[in-house]
Amino acid sequence: MPLNYKAFSINADILLPVIMTKARIRLAQSIASTLKITHKDSEVDAIWDTGATNTSISQHLAKQLSLKPISKIEVISAGTKYISNVYKIDILLPQGVAVKDVRITEALSIAESQILIGMDIITLGDFSITNCGGKTCCSFRIPPDTKHIDYVKDWEKSQERYKKRRSIRKRINKKRP
């Protein structure tokens, strides 16, 4: 039975200070087909930001793509409050992972050709970062798995196994003459 999810991983030979992927963005097809317009995709850098509630696009990139706002919203970013344009786009991530009809806010504080992937997208799936042997691996899958990764439970289980093995060894050693 084939697995029913899409996923991608980023593997780096160093510890990454920032998690970044390439992404293709476009006007949401739901809007483009309703308005009967064609809209080109654009490849951008996408920074994964667990501290961001919502996904954001740079003001420069929104203009470059000729996106038209669907609404406005009050945003608080790094202590600054402002009114931001809201757009609806599709985000195409590596390995065929796609998130459609994303409401994305315009951010004043990100680089020209970037988007920030916020928790609104991250929580649609499973997102993990591991740093083994001085190398970073980041994986994302959508939809989420049916089970959680829980390092504490894994540690507790390993402690239980260790205690059982130790108890068995003690009993064996007591039986020896």
Of the candidates 61, 56, 91, the one whose C-alpha atom is nearest the C-alpha of residue 76 is 56
Mean pLDDT within 18-36 = 89
SS3 162: helix
pLDDT in tens, 32-84: 888 778 777 889 999 999 999 999 999 999 988 889 999 999 988 778 899 99
Kindly list the structural domains of the chain, giving each domain's residue range(s) and its CATH number in brackets, ordered by start: 9-142 (2.40.70.10)
Find out whether the peptide bond into 143 is cis, omega within 30 degrees of 0.
yes
Query: Is the predicted pLDDT of residue 2 greater than 60, yes or no?
Result: no
Query: What is the predicted pLDDT for the residue at 1?
Result: 45
Query: Is the predicted pLDDT of residue 11 greater than 80, yes or no?
Result: yes
In whole angstroms, what is the distance from residue 7 CA to residue 99 CA? 12
In whole angstroms, what is the distance from residue 109 CA to residue 59 CA? 9
pLDDT in tens, 126-152: 999 999 999 999 999 999 998 888 888
Q: Is the overall model pTM greater than 0.85, yes or no?
A: no
DSSP tag of 144: P
pLDDT in tens, 88-109: 999 999 999 999 999 999 998 7
The H or E element containing residue 10 is: strand 6-11
